[in-house]
Amino acid sequence: MTSSPSSPIVPHGVLYTMIRVANLDRSIEFYRDALGMSELRRETFPDARFTLVFMGYAAHPNGATVELTWNWDSDSYTHGSGYGHVALAVSDIYGACARLAEMGVEILREAGPMKAAPQETGEREEIAFIADPDGYRIELIGHSE
């Protein structure tokens, strides 16, 4: 039995990506100040000893967010080999990277065109990679609004 994409039993949107963070204040500061996100929602669970902070773009309050999960009793995590990255659109990728570097953000790959182009379009995107305070990779993609 197959369901149509409009069926109520088929997922229809991305809500958030969850990452565990070692220092909640430091992570909020990074996602707010370096990446321009706002704290959209916070949920604290004292009995379970964790806090969730949902960071996103105020202009798109119903868009996908990043859930920062802070487990009160853990101060470090390993990422494993399965995690990839979060991708964010930016109008001026070169200016964004210069600004982030001035803020001390670790630039993992300088802004520039991808080495390969997709067969379908033949167009190479301009990308960069940075790291958040916990070492999670974030891809910046040149994208005009």
Asked if 28 and 18 touch (Cβ cutoff 8 Å), the reply is no
Q: Where are the alpha helices (DSSP H) in the chain?
A: 24-29, 93-102
Catalytic residue among 123, 125, 139, 145: 139
Q: Is 85 annotated as a binding residue?
A: yes
Q: Is 120 annotated as a binding residue?
A: no
Indicate the residue type of 94. Y
Active site annotation includes 139: yes
Which of 75, 79, 28 minimizes the C-alpha distance to 52?
28
Residues 6 or more apart from 73 whose CB is under 8 A from it? 49
Taking the C-alpha atoms of residue 120 and residue 54, their distance in angstroms, rounded to an integer, is 35
Asked if 55 and 37 touch (Cβ cutoff 8 Å), the reply is yes
To the nearest 10°, the Cα dihedral for 67, 45, 32, 104? -90
Annotated binding site for Zn(2+), which residues?
67, 85, 139
Binding positions are: 67, 85, 139
Which residues are known catalytic residues? 139
